[in-house]
Amino acid sequence: MATFGDVCMAAAINILSAFAFFVAFAILRLQPFNDRVYFPKWYLKGIRSSPTHSGGYVKKFINLDFRTYLRFLSWMPAALKMPEPELIDHAGFDSVVYIRIYVLGLKIFVPLSVLAFSVLVPVNITGRYLEHHKDLTFSDLDKLSISNIPPGSQRFWAHLVMAYAFTFWVFYILYKEYALITSMRLRFLASQTRRPDQFTVLVRNVPPDPDETVSEHVEHFFSVNHPQQYLTHQVVYNANHLSDLVEKRKRMQNWLDYYENKYIRNPAMRPTTKTGFWGLWGSTVDAINYYTAEIEKKFHEEAVERERIVSDPKAIMPAAFVSFRSRWGAAVCAQTQQSSNPTLWLTNWAPEPRDVYWPNLAIPFVELTIRRLLMAVALFFLTFFFMLPIAFVQSLANLESIEKVFPFLKPIIEMPAIKSFVQGFLPGIALKIFLIILPTILMTMSKAEGFTSLSSLERRSASKYYLFLLVNVFLGSIITGTAFQNLNIFLHESASNVPVTVGVSIPMKATFFITYIMVDGWAGVAAEILRLKPLIIFHLKNTFLVKTERDREQAMDPGSLDFATSEPRIQLYFLLGLVYSVVTPFLLPFIVVFFGLSYLVFRHQIINVYNQEYESGGAFWPAVQRRLIAAMIIAQLLLMGLISTKDAANSTPVLLVLPVLTIWFHFYCKNRFEAAFVRFPLQDAMVKDTLERATEPNFNLRTYLQDAYIHPVFHKEDFSRRLVLDEEENNPLVPTKRSSRMSTPGESKRGSEASSEIEH
Amino acid sequence: MATFGDVCMAAAINILSAFAFFVAFAILRLQPFNDRVYFPKWYLKGIRSSPTHSGGYVKKFINLDFRTYLRFLSWMPAALKMPEPELIDHAGFDSVVYIRIYVLGLKIFVPLSVLAFSVLVPVNITGRYLEHHKDLTFSDLDKLSISNIPPGSQRFWAHLVMAYAFTFWVFYILYKEYALITSMRLRFLASQTRRPDQFTVLVRNVPPDPDETVSEHVEHFFSVNHPQQYLTHQVVYNANHLSDLVEKRKRMQNWLDYYENKYIRNPAMRPTTKTGFWGLWGSTVDAINYYTAEIEKKFHEEAVERERIVSDPKAIMPAAFVSFRSRWGAAVCAQTQQSSNPTLWLTNWAPEPRDVYWPNLAIPFVELTIRRLLMAVALFFLTFFFMLPIAFVQSLANLESIEKVFPFLKPIIEMPAIKSFVQGFLPGIALKIFLIILPTILMTMSKAEGFTSLSSLERRSASKYYLFLLVNVFLGSIITGTAFQNLNIFLHESASNVPVTVGVSIPMKATFFITYIMVDGWAGVAAEILRLKPLIIFHLKNTFLVKTERDREQAMDPGSLDFATSEPRIQLYFLLGLVYSVVTPFLLPFIVVFFGLSYLVFRHQIINVYNQEYESGGAFWPAVQRRLIAAMIIAQLLLMGLISTKDAANSTPVLLVLPVLTIWFHFYCKNRFEAAFVRFPLQDAMVKDTLERATEPNFNLRTYLQDAYIHPVFHKEDFSRRLVLDEEENNPLVPTKRSSRMSTPGESKRGSEASSEIEH
């Protein structure tokens, strides 16, 4: 049990480290040679170009103007300055909605803190149960918590009333926020300029036809069944192999660049390399000649493969992007069932071109259901049994077995200092590595489930990650034990006992979670702004690969909001806040600080750093709401379990109403708002169509849509650049400098690498 | 524990009583004066008319041809004779799909019985566990069950393998059946002649508009948003009060008929009545004059109310039936979202005109969600706590309190014979009455939930009733105790223990359920064919009310398949069969007999008796499948619980695979087939539209649809009659005699009473 002092100490350490991160950030960001790391967004927008202003050579790399260092927190007000509509234009709707999650946290937890501190803390302190039971181990903190109320006391009514008040407050805020996000989304969709996905539907599971090609079949089917609306379509090629080839060539290009740079700097010696694996084995050859030849070879292979794909009917997948004459036609086709067999001719809104996840477009229906089953089972085992393989690796990774495998290391390992370090370090490393690659594992699982857009993949991974955090971090910390052990306990305990078992441990874990919030939340968020990894990689690339200004642009890694991992983490804080709001209100201010700090940092990041990969129009909000509702229900059940052990059993029925109400609230909101995130109302489509027909009667939609949904490796002209140009011409928010524009600012990761190469 | 002998005895009794019912049926049905009770369907079809064949007066009422009595089971082959396509035309698609549930039962349980008797019964008998443990109480029957296997025996593998075999067999049959029903449904929908609901969409929650009436608003909205497709619409009037008036007048008409008949039979005395409540109090008046005047008054009231509805804008509900130029247009509108607020302009396929449940058409969205919440809570209490009010009533209904309230009954009640009868009878009567009115309560609850068609109301009530049967009959019988006590036990038992607790009791209850199947299943089904209640009511009406041939037609009550109560009962047999298939295979033949007998009886009934109220195109099949899947999962969990107590715990993981597979199978089938029951594919709509446009280019759809969806009380001409005429002219399956056609054969109960009156 930690005392007040311990918590203050931990707080001081974490505040200091957060402060240190901010100071480091303030210094680094002011150095011109870091400019592209900390302001890549502006470079991508073309508003900022490499710092070439007059001044000495040193000044080009280091900021010598000391006055700027004094205002080292000046980014904070700057981050708040940009108004929301402008921010949507600048950073995208998804990003703006994402940072609204932090605002939501503030809206929920600031009033909750105030209320809890003005009502529950006095009630708890004057409970004086712990003072009279000196035999119990407790800390000063516990005096502020529900533990300080004697069993059977009438004071629990205060907690019950507060539980109701908190629930209704959260209902109110959630409802208002959902309504707001929905109307923002509708306004956003309505205000958007013409985009290919507005007119296009993704058709999957096109049935095979003995007499027609896929393309003919699609054309005939839609000309017949959507006669006035069908415009054109684009079949999907299986270009996964070609993508691999392009990928490989790109890596070789990097090596070539590296050796060319080396040669330029030291023209006396032509660099050499070895032809074998990773340049470690094989015969030594002239590096530049070797890679030039290899790249030539790859280009040839690519051309052959490209030829094969276009001519081979087997390379055409039974899927197509079908475009319509109007948004109305596309909305109708996306929302209706086409064929009497509901597993054929599946139609869905097409994702944005840059949001498409191409490899998944051709999975047949039966395979899809089997994949989902397998992934569900896999997720279950991953969540509850992930400790088993890690324990196995840990049992192998001890000093004896290392010495056996690598006998030559023995003298080093046997040194006392190193030995103790390795012994302390080894057991943790397997777990650490697992946790680092976990998001990748989850994303791979989601990909295996066959989702066709990056946005849906991220949403899916996020829900998997949330389950993992809930079971292993939240429950795992409260009832210390592996998830598997806990599962075993729960299976052998009665349904009404599970909340009790978990509930009684909750007050005891408050200090642990307070520390967790400070380390993971406060310091973690402050570290986010430093961008250490991109900083290092940028400077490495800059040193070894960059030849031209254009290369330098490619060396920038603006990154993006990683919804799949960061949203579940926020949800964990919501869960902690809701669970502890009634039990240990002392935890709430820490949550409030987390949300406030995060809001500042991420608002700064989306303005200056992150480059959005795709735009889903805030399609993830229903998932955010769903997980918040789940957190509310968990909090209510645990409170019920906790209070029932306090001889206040008559309060159980009173509390039982809350989860029922919460479930009802969930369905109410779902029915009320969710459709706006899934379907496109015909009325809105019709309004936009009519408007557009009136303003641009002669627009040639067919030409506009022709190449929109071509696989990125086939892009002859860079479509997405054109798209952004269009948008910006219509919304001249900021003066643009096209000269310095990056080639494919808005394309998906998979696509951008391939397509930017095509242009060579 | 019942012995073989006991079960044989019970079987003999029940077979005899079933036989007695059949004999009684054979005799009664051959009497001409019962003809309308046992063959009403043919009267409604107009193929049969009152028996007026030559012969004596007696012959008109009693069949004296004794040869016909000898072939008293001749209806059985006759019932099987009609081929399925013809049966669909004759009895409707719903009825045919309904009796396929019995066929499904046979398809599942006949092979299961064969397999179980050839594998499991020998394995169980040779287990000899019970013989060596004479201390255990057991019966001969238990030797055939899993109880006879010694704990920890390797023989349990036979049961495991069989559990898998049974599961896969059921999967196979369910999948094939779902596929068949789906294709039948699609064929049925495709082969149907033109019907108003194919072109019509029910629009609810029309938002209020300050400047326009509902009708104008609807017209403008759909003309704008479905410009090429919108044809016409019909607003919905709130005619509930008018319906009540018509209803009241109808009852008076009955009394008038009664007194007129009385007067005709005994012209010497003019009948009198009293004006007060139920004719029991008040001043005595001439009955015929009184009712003639009253009916006149009601007619006037009706006319005023009718006037008010048409002129008062408040009588127009914010709902409308919107019709389109083509099936394609209606399909598009029904499947898409119209407005950006998903709770406004809700569009759904319109039910058939006779399937519409008018009173529910105007419930606003928020109210709807609150109603659903309240009904869900109510259903929970009804299911688990229904014993409480009944126990309360029972505590009141004892002899002492009766004597207190009605002291004058004391001498009678005190007589020993009556006293013991009343004492034995009273406690049960409250429960019995509750069980009889339970389906009505559930239907009222479903109505309160706001469903807009009779078919969906029935489906909803069926799922409520199934829950009730599952909890109170199945679980209640196995772990004897009220549902509430059981709920309490379960809440305090561990999740893994619940299947064990229930599972171990299962073998012990086999004989109870065998008896239940015989009494409720065999004898109950045989009683169904006798139609005692309609028989009595028909003869009562015939005696007191009938004046003309037309009245006699109205006195017929053909009834219909009562999906809401009979389908859940069938599901109970499926559940019993699946649960006991591995545990006590001896129960299976009883189930098989039940399904066979029911199939015969209900096929006979739908051919000769039942008159379908509406046609939903087999829309209930997904619900049937869902409940069967639930039964499979319950059976698998209980088997797991049972076997885990037999020291064969290593088998649990093997069995755990089954429910996972079953859930997967459920989702697979749902995705594969369910859409066909909910949505109308555009391709099919387009095919029908094109065909029709080619064959009848000049058909005036507007006139055809004009009055289709007018509230039944406003029907000037009898629309549904016209509909049936249309259909039959196109399908001259049987020679028709229009003369004797009933006025509104196909209308819903609510509608028919009202509309048939309008025609006077």
User: CA torsion angle for B31, B35, B38, B43 (degrees, to 10)?
Assistant: 170
Q: Is residue B755 part of a domain?
A: no
Same domain, yes or no, for A418 and A545?
A: no
Taking an 8 Å cut-off on Cβ atoms, the answer to whether A674 and B342 are in contact is yes
Last residue of a domain, one of B625, B657, B679: B679
pLDDT score for B757: 38
Residue pLDDT, tens place only, A510-546: 888 888 888 888 888 888 888 878 788 877 877 777 7
pLDDT score for B425: 67
The chain-wide mean pLDDT, for chain B, equals 80
Tokens representing B269 are 């005395």
Taking an 8 Å cut-off on Cβ atoms, the answer to whether B336 and A332 are in contact is yes
Taking contacts as CB-CB distances below 8 angstroms, the residues of chain A near B667 are 369, 372
- Among B494, B672, B683, whose Cβ lies nearest the Cβ of A225? B683
Q: In sequence order, what are the residues at sequence separation of 6 or more whose Cβ sits closer than 8 angstroms to the Cβ of residue B521?
A: B573, B590, B591, B593, B594, B597, B598
Nearest to B260 by CA among B281, B238, B291: B291
pLDDT score for A281: 67
Q: In sequence order, what are the residues at sequence separation of 6 or more whose Cβ sits closer than 8 angstroms to the Cβ of residue B581?
A: B109, B112, B116, B162, B166, B588, B635
User: Would you say residue A732 has pLDDT above 80?
Assistant: no
Same domain, yes or no, for B99 and B39?
A: yes
Residue pLDDT, tens place only, B17-34: 888 888 888 788 777 777
The residue type found at A183 is S
- Among A186, A337, A496, whose Cβ lies nearest the Cβ of B492? A496
Same domain, yes or no, for A424 and A389?
A: yes
Taking an 8 Å cut-off on Cβ atoms, the answer to whether A340 and B226 are in contact is no
pLDDT band at A169 (very low <50, low <70, confident <90, very high): very high
User: Would you say residue A595 has pLDDT above 70?
Assistant: yes
Total domains in chain A come to: 2
pLDDT band at A549 (very low <50, low <70, confident <90, very high): low
Q: Is residue A678 part of a domain?
A: no
Taking an 8 Å cut-off on Cβ atoms, the answer to whether A680 and B331 are in contact is no
**Domain span at B258:** 198-351
User: Would you say residue B166 has pLDDT above 60?
Assistant: yes
Q: In sequence order, what are the residues at sequence separation of 6 or more whose Cβ sits closer than 8 angstroms to the Cβ of residue A582?
A: A116, A120, A146, A159, A162, A163, A166, A635, A639
Distances in whole angstroms, Cα of residue B601 to Cα of each of A14, A685, B567, B604: 79, 55, 15, 5
Tell which phi-psi region holds residue A332, choosing left (phi > 0), alpha (psi between -120 and 50) or beta: alpha
Number of Cβ atoms within 10 Å of the Cβ of B537: 15
Q: Which range, A119-133, A299-313, B431-445, is most confident? A: B431-445
- Among A225, A373, A682, whose Cβ lies nearest the Cβ of B337? A682
Residue pLDDT, tens place only, A675-727: 888 888 888 888 888 888 888 888 888 888 888 888 877 765 343 444 444 44
Is the sign of the CA dihedral A510, A512, A516, A522 positive or negative? positive
Taking contacts as CB-CB distances below 8 angstroms, the residues of chain B near A339 are 681, 683
User: Would you say residue B743 has pLDDT above 50?
Assistant: no
Taking an 8 Å cut-off on Cβ atoms, the answer to whether A672 and B377 are in contact is no
Measured distance CA(A68)–CA(B584) in Å, rounded: 86
Q: Is residue A548 packed enough to be buried (19+ CB in 10 Å), middle (13-18) or exposed (0-12)?
A: exposed
pLDDT score for B164: 93
Taking contacts as CB-CB distances below 8 angstroms, the residues of chain B near A372 are 667
Taking an 8 Å cut-off on Cβ atoms, the answer to whether B186 and A673 are in contact is no
Mean pLDDT of A305-311: 81
pLDDT score for A396: 67
Taking contacts as CB-CB distances below 8 angstroms, the residues of chain A near B487 are none
User: Would you say residue A295 has pLDDT above 60?
Assistant: yes
The residue type found at B73 is L
Contact A338, A425 (CB under 8 A): no
Q: Where are the beta strands (DSSP E) in A245-334?
A: 272-274, 284-286, 316-324
Nearest to A516 by CA among A575, A439, A464: A575
Helix (H) / strand (E) element for A230: namely: strand A230-237
pLDDT score for A511: 83
Helix (H) / strand (E) element for A300: namely: helix A287-311
Tell which phi-psi region holds residue A284, choosing left (phi > 0), alpha (psi between -120 and 50) or beta: beta
Q: Is residue B728 part of a domain?
A: no
Between residues B511 and A445, the one the model is more confident about: A445
Q: In sequence order, what are the residues at sequence separation of 6 or more whose Cβ sits closer than 8 angstroms to the Cβ of residue A84?
A: A96
Q: Which range, A361-365, A455-459, A483-487, B261-265, is most confident? A: A455-459
Helix pair B416-448, B387-396: axis angle to 10 deg: 150
pLDDT score for B735: 40
pLDDT score for A98: 92
Tell which phi-psi region holds residue B152, choosing left (phi > 0), alpha (psi between -120 and 50) or beta: left
B183, B228, B337, best to mutate vs chain A, most A CBs in 10 Å? B337
- Among A343, A377, A667, whose Cβ lies nearest the Cβ of B672? A343
B477 to chain A nearest CA, in Å? 22
Taking an 8 Å cut-off on Cβ atoms, the answer to whether A338 and B672 are in contact is no
B663 to chain A nearest CA, in Å? 9
Helix (H) / strand (E) element for B321: namely: strand B316-324
Q: Is residue A68 part of a domain?
A: yes
Q: Is residue B724 part of a domain?
A: no
Last residue of a domain, one of A390, A416, A449: A449
Contact A648, A154 (CB under 8 A): no
pLDDT score for A671: 86
Taking an 8 Å cut-off on Cβ atoms, the answer to whether A337 and B497 are in contact is no
Taking contacts as CB-CB distances below 8 angstroms, the residues of chain A near B682 are 225-226, 336-338
pLDDT score for B193: 77
Q: Is residue A208 packed enough to be buried (19+ CB in 10 Å), middle (13-18) or exposed (0-12)?
A: exposed
Q: Is residue B289 part of a domain?
A: yes
Tokens representing A91 are 């950073």
The chain-wide mean pLDDT, for chain A, equals 80
Taking contacts as CB-CB distances below 8 angstroms, the residues of chain B near A343 are 671-672
Taking an 8 Å cut-off on Cβ atoms, the answer to whether A338 and B224 are in contact is no
Taking contacts as CB-CB distances below 8 angstroms, the residues of chain A near B668 are 366, 369
Taking an 8 Å cut-off on Cβ atoms, the answer to whether A664 and B369 are in contact is yes
User: Would you say residue A4 has pLDDT above 80?
Assistant: no
Distances in whole angstroms, Cα of residue B90 to Cα of each of B5, B55, B611: 45, 31, 10
Measured distance CA(B161)–CA(B164) in Å, rounded: 5
A497 to chain B nearest CA, in Å? 7
DSSP assignment letter at B618: S
B34 to chain A nearest CA, in Å? 46
B322, B682, B691, best to mutate vs chain A, most A CBs in 10 Å? B682
A492 to chain B nearest CA, in Å? 5
User: Would you say residue A293 has pLDDT above 50?
Assistant: yes
Same domain, yes or no, for B14 and B151?
A: yes
pLDDT band at A59 (very low <50, low <70, confident <90, very high): low
Q: Is residue A610 packed enough to be buried (19+ CB in 10 Å), middle (13-18) or exposed (0-12)?
A: buried
Taking an 8 Å cut-off on Cβ atoms, the answer to whether B337 and A680 are in contact is yes
Same domain, yes or no, for B573 and B516?
A: yes
Q: Kindly report which listed range (A383-397, B94-108, B393-407) carries the lowest average pLDDT score.
A: B393-407
A665 to chain B nearest CA, in Å? 9
A-B C-beta contacts closer than 8 Å:
132
pLDDT score for B752: 38
Same domain, yes or no, for B488 and B616?
A: yes
pLDDT score for B576: 93
Taking an 8 Å cut-off on Cβ atoms, the answer to whether A335 and B339 are in contact is no
pLDDT band at B623 (very low <50, low <70, confident <90, very high): very high
pLDDT score for A257: 79
Q: Is residue A670 part of a domain?
A: no
Q: Does ipTM surpass 0.85 in this model? A: no
Same domain, yes or no, for A424 and A570?
A: no
Same domain, yes or no, for A509 and A407?
A: no
Taking contacts as CB-CB distances below 8 angstroms, the residues of chain B near A338 are 681-683
Taking an 8 Å cut-off on Cβ atoms, the answer to whether A494 and B492 are in contact is yes
- Could you identify the residue written with the tokens 């399937």? B355
User: Would you say residue B689 has pLDDT above 60?
Assistant: yes
Measured distance CA(B640)–CA(B658) in Å, rounded: 10
A336, A375, A487, best to mutate vs chain B, most B CBs in 10 Å? A336
- Could you identify the residue written with the tokens 């065999």? B522
- Among A492, A667, A684, whose Cβ lies nearest the Cβ of B340? A684
B582 to chain A nearest CA, in Å? 25
pLDDT score for B78: 75
Q: Kindly report which listed range (A525-539, B392-406, B711-725) carries the lowest average pLDDT score.
A: B711-725
Last residue of a domain, one of A618, A645, A665: A665
- Among A338, A664, A676, whose Cβ lies nearest the Cβ of B342? A676
pLDDT score for B1: 47
Taking an 8 Å cut-off on Cβ atoms, the answer to whether B335 and A335 are in contact is yes
B234 to chain A nearest CA, in Å? 21
pLDDT score for B722: 41
Same domain, yes or no, for B414 and B552?
A: no
Residue in chain A nearest B372 by alpha carbon: A664
- Among A342, A366, A369, whose Cβ lies nearest the Cβ of B667? A369
pLDDT score for B720: 40
User: Would you say residue B731 has pLDDT above 60?
Assistant: no
pLDDT score for A63: 65
Taking contacts as CB-CB distances below 8 angstroms, the residues of chain B near A337 are 335, 675, 679-682
Same domain, yes or no, for B319 and B257?
A: yes
- Among B331, B674, B681, whose Cβ lies nearest the Cβ of A339? B681
Same domain, yes or no, for A476 and A617?
A: yes
Taking contacts as CB-CB distances below 8 angstroms, the residues of chain A near B226 are 682
Same domain, yes or no, for A628 and A495?
A: yes
Between residues B595 and B612, the one the model is more confident about: B595
A309 to chain B nearest CA, in Å? 31
Residue in chain A nearest B656 by alpha carbon: A377
Q: Is residue B519 part of a domain?
A: yes
